[in-house]
Amino acid sequence: MNLLYIYWQPSEYLIHLGTFGVRWYGLCWVTGLALGFFLMRWLYKRHKYPDAKFEPLFLYVFFGVLIGGRLGHCLFYEPSYFLGSWDGFVEMFIPMRHLQDGTWKFVGYQGLASHGGVFGMLLGLVLYIRRSKMPAWVVLDFMGICSCITATFIRLGNLMNSEIIGKTTDLPWAFVFLKVDSQPRHPGQLYEALAYLIFFVVILLIYRRNSAKVGSGLFFGLCLTLVFSFRFLIEFTKEVQESFENSLPLDMGQLLSIPLIAFGVWAIVRSRKI
């Protein structure tokens, strides 16, 4: 036994009283969304956009991320289950699981894909922009400034849930996810959380020095390029989420990252012409 390894088996709950409980995963999600919300409000005020323009945004983003993340997980990672039967198709949309005894059990939305969440968020932003008549690239740049702090806390939630685990390693900072097995593994969730926190600070510092570039696409492009380039590389340290990925040249996370990296690079190049 290597005493340097971190043996990881936290409780799923911060508070658990009877049937009521506050899960760490949910708390991390709420914290990330709240920080993104208040930072976005600050940006709207700083650039003198009225509250009436800001107020509808949260619902478009929240439901876009939730629906996109859920559908992304079901269609990208478990299509055979969710499209293979009527029960599976229904479970794609409701937080229930049909048990073998014929009853339905509330299980929450188990499985949210980050790439699906991004695609859903972008669709939500398109709908919001059409309704609010906000300048599209201003909204996208605001989102680029805010998103990394939310992503940081989502990955911390994955860490608390011992999910999206890394491959086995003998590095001294390896985590042993006791809920999974007794093997030391890369803490891929922690790698991502730390990287996204650094990206958030970097983008925010660039914004503080170049706030006039809001509306050019620079900050949106930086966010996509940094986050999904790192995501592409870090996948080499992570276990595949579904067995069918073993037959692919790259895993699903990497394949889905490529168009987002390309979009981000294009946005940065576009911003240099404005």
Q: Tally the residues of the chain.
A: 274
Greatest mean pLDDT range, 89-103, 119-133, 195-209: 195-209
More confident residue, 19 or 147: 147
More confident residue, 87 or 178: 178
pLDDT by residue (tens digit) across 122-159? 999 999 999 999 999 999 999 999 999 999 999 999 99
DSSP 191-249: HHHHHHHHHHHHHHHHHHH-GGGTTTTHHHHHHHHHHHHHHHHHGGGB--SSGGGGGSS
pLDDT for 152 equals 97
pLDDT by residue (tens digit) across 168-194? 999 999 999 999 999 999 999 999 999
pTM: 0.87
- Give residues with Cβ within 8 angstroms of 236, minimum separation 6: none
Q: State the Cα angle at 265 between 67 and 49, rounded to 5°.
A: 60
Whole-number average pLDDT of the chain: 90
Q: Inform me whether the pLDDT recorded for 103 exceeds 90.
A: no
pLDDT by residue (tens digit) across 214-239? 999 999 999 999 999 999 999 999 99
Rounded-to-integer distance, Cα 190 and Cα 199, Å: 14
pLDDT by residue (tens digit) across 238-259? 998 777 777 888 998 899 999 9
pLDDT for 95 equals 76
Greatest mean pLDDT range, 80-84, 162-166, 193-197, 245-249: 193-197
For the record, the structure tokens of 215 come out as 């509306």
Q: Inform me whether the pLDDT recorded for 202 exceeds 80.
A: yes
pLDDT for 156 equals 95
Residue percentage of the chain with pLDDT more than 70: 96
70 labeled binding residue: no
